[in-house]
Amino acid sequence: MLPTFSTKTLPNHHSISTGLYQNKHGIIHNQMFDDIYNEHFVDGNGKDEKWWNGNRMAVPLYIANQLEDRRRASCCSPWIGCHAPYHGRRAKYFIRFNQSSCYYEQFDWTLMKLIDRSNPANLALMYIHEPDSIGHKYGPYGWQTKQKVRRVDRFVGFIYNRLKQLNLTTKINIIILSDHGLADARPYRSIVMESFLNKTWYDAYGSNPVYTLKVRKGFETVVRKILEPYRINNCKLKQSAKTFCVYSQQQIPKRYQYDYNGRIFDYLLLANEGWSVYKTDKDKQRSKSSFGQHGYDNQLNIMRPLFIAFGPSFRQQYYHHNRFINVDLYPLMLKLLNMSPNQYYHQGKWINVRSMLKQQYLLEKNKKNSNLK
C-alpha cells in the first residue's frame, strides 16, 4: 500500500476517511495556511469544519455510514478529523485525541460502543500515535522504537483475543494499517532555508521535510533565480539532487496529486530521503535530537505503510500482490459496510482492492470459469 503525498499524518488520515487525494480534500499538511481565512492550521488545532470540509462532494466514511441508515452508528476513538463536524453532522460516538491516553482504555471504550444494547456501533475507527512519536525521536532502527513496536503488537494481540472471547472475530472485519512509513534522518543531513533565501522574501508553510513557499510581492524574480539550481529540471544534474529539490506549481509531478489547491502556493520544496530542511537555524537546533522523519516522496519504499486485514469478508492466507494507494480503501470499506463502492464521490479504484474479499473473488472466479466453458 502507498500513502498519499505529502506523507504526513493528518493528510493521510483524511485521505483514508474520504477516498480523496490531498489537493481535493484540502488537508495538505499537518501545518498549513489558508489565504481565504487568513489563518494558520497547526497539527490539528483547526477544530472548525471549514478546514476539513474542503470539498463539498467529500463524505467521510464515518458520516457515509450513518447516512445509509439512521440506526447505524460510527465510533471514532479517536480518529483524526472526526472531531470536526461535517456540515453539522458528527460520528455518533467520538472522543478527542489525547496523546497521554491509554490504548487499552481507548479500546475498552470502543468495545462498549460496539456491543451497546440500545444503539451499537457498526463502524469503529481507532488511532494510536505510537510508534510514530518515539520513531521521530530515535529513528526507525532505534531499540526504543523496536521496543514500542513490540508493545503495539501486543496491544493488537490483546484486541484480537478480547474479540475472540466475545465470539466477535467471526462477525467483525478488522483492518490494521498505518498512515505512512518512517525514514532514518540524521541531524547532520540538514539544510536551513535562511542560509540561501532571505526570510523577508517569502513565507514557508509546512514542516520538515516538505514545505510550500509563498513568495512575497516584489521578490518573485530574485527568488526564482536563487531557486533555479534546485528546480527539478536542474536538480538531477547538480549536487542539490542529494539534498532537496524545488518544484514550481507547474512542475509538481502529476502522481503527487498535489496541485491546484488554494493552500499550496508558488513552490513545493521537498527534501530527498533521509535529509531534513528547516526554515531557520533555531528550528534546526530544536530538532537536533530527532532521528526519524516522514513526509517524503510517497513512492519511496521506506514511506510505505502497513496494511493487514482479516475477518469473515476477507480471504484467508492471501497476499495481495497488486500495489494500491490508501484512497482505494474507501470503496473497499463502503463494500464492507454493505454499500455500493461507488455510492459516494471518491478517487479510489475499487478494481485495485476488490480481490481481497472472499465474495468478490468467488464471483470473479466463477465468471472466469463460465467464460472458459
| Residues with a known catalytic role | 9
Task: Return the C-alpha cell found at 30.
Answer: 499537518
Task: Return phi, psi of residue 122, to 5°.
Answer: -105, 0
> Which of 138, 40, 144, 132 lies closest to 80 in space, CA to CA?
132
Q: Which residues of 220-232 are buried (b: 16+ CB within 10 A; e: fewer)?
A: eeebeeebeebbb
Task: Return phi, psi of residue 120, to 5°.
Answer: -70, 145
Measured between alpha carbons, how far is 366 from 291 in angstroms, rounded to an integer? 51
Task: Return phi, psi of residue 106, to 5°.
Answer: -60, -45
Which position has the grid cell 481565504?
36
The set of residues, in sequence order, having a beta carbon less than 8 Å from that of 102 and lying 6+ positions away, is none
Measured between alpha carbons, how far is 74 from 120 in angstroms, rounded to an integer? 9
CA 185 to chain CA centroid, nearest Å: 20
DSSP 8-state class, residue 41: E
Residue 320 in contact with residue 356, Cβ under 8 Å? yes
> Which of 186, 210, 178, 173 lies closest to 292 in space, CA to CA?
186
Q: Which residue type does 244 have?
A: F
Task: Return the C-alpha cell found at 307.
Answer: 496494511
Q: Following DSSP, what letter does each residue of 278-318 receive, concatenated? A: ESSHHHHHHTTT--EE--S-TTSGGGPPPEEEESTTBPSS-
Q: Which three-class secondary structure state does DSSP give residue 31?
A: strand
Measured between alpha carbons, how far is 240 from 287 in angstroms, rounded to an integer? 22
The set of residues, in sequence order, having a beta carbon less than 8 Å from that of 340 and lying 6+ positions away, is 334
